[in-house]
Amino acid sequence: SVLGGNRVTSGMRPYASCYGGHQFGNWAGQLGDGRAITLGEVENTRGDTWEMQLKGAGRTPYSRHADGRAVLRSSLREYVCSEAMFHLGVPTTRALSLVVTGDSIVRDMLYDGHPEEEPGAIVCRVAPSFLRFGSYELFASRGETEPLRTLVRFTLERHYPQYLAADGAMDVPGFFAEVCRRTARLVSEWMRVGFVHGVMNTDNLSILGLTIDYGPYGWIEPFDPGWTPNTTDAGGKRYRFGNQPRIAQWNLAQLGNALLALGGETEPFEAGLEAYAAELSAAQRTTMAEKLGLSVNDACISQDAELVQALMSLLVRTETDMTLFYRALADLPAWGSTHTNDAIFAALREAYYAADGVPSDVIGAIAEWVGLYHERVRAEGVTDAARTARMNAVNPLYVPRNYLVQETIDRVTRGETGALVELCDVLRSPYQKQTGREAFAAKRPEWARHRPGCSMLSCSS
């Protein structure tokens, strides 16, 4: 009953947080938890403190004209993805429970004037903190310096004690630089696994460098840096896959502007943004080397950069499943006999959405790139077995593909709750091949290409 939002136990003091945010690049003013209610904090056996928050349990002071409820569709998506991200090794909030309420909630899924009743649900999500950039922006926008100072001090005491001196002095620029570095590492991890957040407003970025607020997110299936899963973003594509690193830096600049309200010079905060760029560059270089089974070698910086750029260009020439491509590439031997163009393409064939229609010049370009890649592998001296192990440790086989999650929503709506149990079980071991579960690694079927929930999503929840 507690996780379903029906009971408050002794010691709980539920509250909803107030924050602001820049949405799609524009200041939106006060926002706040319109349907998220924090029950309190619990301490685990290791001494870690976790904030427990119900999402969809009813109205809060910040609900405005909404009902504060959530539907099964969005709640299941958040539950699945937050747990999948944890097992993928991506910093994230966690999902403790998913409760179906038995209520019917009216939602217009595509905002096209066709509302329908959907089953209601509540997710209990947990994190060390749900503070986000917008928490600090709101006080700064109002000129409320002392509440902002209090919030920053609380943040340092609880989460960044290294930036709080014994005499109480706060190193705000140092704190900001660390948030920048954490955010850079987070975005690099998103790019590694093919995650697209979909709504990277400043109220949706965590001060701890965690993935928060799983709304209209999506997973890259055909590799496309210009893809966004959010229907609201379909025109400008501000939050497209390939733009996520730039948007994160823009959001950090807004956080820096807010923290400047506490006083000080701009240069230390500019240094924080430079730290973001440096951390992102280093993280992306390491990530791409790992995805290709290579070591980071300073002597090969230029060669490796050209190899990666050539691959990125190649992946968009024909619809290529990002997840399956790296797994297939890991299995293609670099040592031994020379491969023909046809043999190379055959080994990678499963990654292509229209393999029978790939032009011969593209097949030739693929084979040429593989040849250059294998030369680099042999120059490093790494064996095929070692390279395969390296690659399969960072390139997942199982991710919560958009269509898989939608199929699970459909089945759970019909009462087949075992579908959710099985999907979550598969996603707990994303890097290991699981016998009998090949269907969970299959690329997007054609029926899902344009189906809502599988191709594009709205913020409706």
Which amino acid, residue 223?
F
Tell me the Ramachandran region of residue 27: left when phi exceeds 0, alpha when psi lies from -120 to 50, beta otherwise.
Answer: beta
Residue pair 268/275 in contact by the 8 Å Cβ criterion: no
Residue written as tokens 């399969």? 392
Specify whether the CB–CB gap between 391 and 340 falls below 8 A. Answer: no
Rounded (10°) CA dihedral 347, 318, 449, 216: 100
Closest CA to 126 of 210, 205, 69: 210
Residue 27's contacts (CB-CB under 8 Å, 6 or more residues apart) are: 20, 21, 141
Catalytic position from the list 108, 167, 171, 203: 203
Contact between residue 56 and residue 119 where contact means Cβ atoms under 8 Å apart: no
Three-state SS at 164: strand
CA atoms within 13 A on the CB side of 262: 21
Mutual orientation of helices 267-291 and 301-315 as an angle, nearest 10°?
Answer: 70
Q: How many residues does the chain have?
A: 461
Residue 126 tokens, joined = 């947990």
Task: Give yes or no: 203 in active site.
Answer: yes
Distance separating alpha carbons of residues 329 and 350, to the nearest angstrom: 11
Beta bridge partners of residue 320, listed in sequence order: 352
Contact 102, 140 (CB under 8 A): no
Q: d(Cα 201, Cα 251) in Å, to the nearest integer?
A: 8
183/193 Cα distance (integer angstroms): 16
Which string of DSSP letters, residue by residue, matches 19-84? -EEEETTEEEEE---SSEEEEEEEE-TTS-EEEEEEESB---TT-TTS--B-BHHHHHHHHHHHHH
Supply the residues annotated as catalytic: 203
